[in-house]
Amino acid sequence: MANMQGLVERLERAVSRLESLSAESHRPPGDCGEVNGVTGGVAPSVEAFDKLMNGMVAEFLKNSRILAGDVETHAEMVHSAFQAQRSFLLMASQYQQPHENDVATLLKPISEKIQEIQTFRERNRGSNMFNHLSAVSESIPALGWIAVPPSSHCHRPPPLFENEGKKEESSPSRSALFAQLNQGEAITKGLRHVTDDQKTYKNPSLRARGGQTRSPTKSHTPSPTSPKSHPSQKQAPVLELEGKKWRVEYQEDRNDLVISETELKQVAYIFKCEKSTLQIKGKVNSIIIDNCKKLGLVFDNVVGIVEVINSQDIQIQVMGRVPTISINKTEGCHIYLSEDALDCEIVSAKSSEMNILIPQDGDYREFPVPEQFKTAWDGSKLITEPAEIMA
């Protein structure tokens, strides 16, 4: 696993270097109609990408095939994504800049590959290699580097690829970041020297005070009127479709939230909503409830999974079907299943006050989910079963 994680990190670094090579392969502004100055063979960016494919990507595939199973399947998807990007780079080196409206269409194969890789990870949360699948899934949006416009040459389309709702930084800020990282040892020149009297291991009195000492450049005299802590800034509520993700965030005291125009490939991410109710119509891929309080969710059909994470007092009503509901680090979760959803699997961890309500005779019957378990050794293996609470 350590080797595979290292490969993923090396791939990310290589992609960053490729972005710089791609910028160098273009002529100055005004020459966008040229074929990047290449008279024979392939452009430098394509050549560099081929070295990456034949090097680290090939090594990644080789090791993944040894592990086999979900890892091998996932790796083949990654290979396809890199092949799609190679095709795009080759096309970009041979043709003029397309119309802005056509760029999204040209990048669609890469975007679909990224989505496929991330969906595979979501659908295999029970895999014993889930941590590895997560590392690859969270790294693959780095392929979106080709959509970031370098500031040194002709106009390029705005960023199209996003990760967890965060867009790629603009080229100037990325360049500034790379410039800082490339300082090497010189990056430490701006650090202030710590004298011996400020080092806890040489000054026992500091250890007794928890290592706190006054800065020689700043005054620490407390203001009698200054508050001890700053209240958190209230975020603006969000309900919007971003790519294939429905973002529902920071909603409070809203009982009329509805998502009606849904597609099978879409996911819904509900974050920090309180005292609100949301209805999702149609069929979506998955739903995630994260850091919510007193939230009610009603949905028709989910083909993947519904996750509840770090939340309190959640009520979920299934109108159609859902294969799996996962509850993690949550206090209070009531799930109303439909007749068609009785085969749903409920997976819970580090959670309390969970109840499943089953339709019976026109009403619902409540069944608590066990929170305590007992484990015993039977001579060959551990046997774990719910602990019955005696009255």
Q: What are the respective helix, strand and coil percentages of the chain, to the nearest 5? A: 35, 25, 35
CA distances from 216 to 193, 194, 195, 369 (A): 11, 10, 11, 57
Q: Which residue did the predictor score with more confidence, 223 or 35?
A: 223
The verdict on residue 201 lying in a domain is no
The verdict on residue 202 lying in a domain is no
Its pTM stands at 0.44
286 has pLDDT over 80:
yes
Write out the two tokens for 140: 């693959």
pLDDT band at 122 (very low <50, low <70, confident <90, very high): confident
152 has pLDDT over 60:
no
200 has pLDDT over 60:
no
Q: Picking from 9-13, 118-122, 367-371, which range would have the lowest pLDDT averaged per residue?
A: 9-13
The CATH number linked to 253 is 2.160.20.70
Among residues 160, 175, 206, the one where a domain terminates is 160
The verdict on residue 199 lying in a domain is no
Q: Which residue did the predictor score with more confidence, 337 or 53?
A: 337
Same domain, 117 and 242: no
pLDDT value of residue 195:
62
Same domain, 154 and 252: no
The verdict on residue 175 lying in a domain is no
Residue 381, helix vs strand vs coil: coil
pLDDT value of residue 194:
56
- pLDDT tens digits for 241-282? 999 999 999 999 999 999 999 999 999 999 999 999 999 999
The verdict on residue 374 lying in a domain is yes
pLDDT band at 90 (very low <50, low <70, confident <90, very high): confident
Query: Percentage of the chain surpassing pLDDT 90?
Result: 35
Same domain, 24 and 144: yes
Q: How many domains does the chain have?
A: 2
The verdict on residue 378 lying in a domain is yes
pLDDT value of residue 387:
78
Determine contact, residues 206/200, Cβ cutoff 8 Å.
yes
DSSP conformational letter for 298: E
Determine contact, residues 294/310, Cβ cutoff 8 Å.
no
Which parts of 57-129 fold into alpha helices (H)?
Answer: 58-67, 69-94, 100-122
Same domain, 275 and 143: no
pLDDT value of residue 231:
59
pLDDT value of residue 270:
96
pLDDT band at 94 (very low <50, low <70, confident <90, very high): confident
The verdict on residue 198 lying in a domain is no
Same domain, 244 and 361: yes
Q: Which residue did the predictor score with more confidence, 361 or 208?
A: 361
Among residues 125, 142, 160, the one where a domain terminates is 160
Query: In whole angstroms, what is the distance from residue 389 CA to residue 391 CA?
Result: 6
DSSP conformational letter for 42: -
Q: What interhelical angle do 58-67 and 2-24 show, nearest 10?
A: 160
149 has pLDDT over 60:
no
Among residues 160, 193, 228, the one where a domain terminates is 160
Q: Which residue did the predictor score with more confidence, 104 or 296?
A: 296
Query: Which range marks the domain in which residue 37 is found?
Result: 2-160
Tell me the mean pLDDT in the region 36-49: 67
Same domain, 243 and 140: no
377 has pLDDT over 80:
yes
Query: Percentage of the chain surpassing pLDDT 70?
Result: 66
pLDDT value of residue 43:
80
Average pLDDT, the chain: 76
Estimate to the nearest angstrom the gap between the alpha carbon of 195 and the chain centroid. Answer: 42
- pLDDT tens digits for 166-196? 434 444 444 454 454 444 444 445 555 556 6
236 has pLDDT over 50:
yes
Same domain, 145 and 247: no
Same domain, 139 and 262: no
The verdict on residue 361 lying in a domain is yes
Same domain, 250 and 153: no
Q: Which amino acid is at 284?
A: V
The CATH number linked to 7 is 1.25.40.330
217 has pLDDT over 90:
no
DSSP conformational letter for 250: S
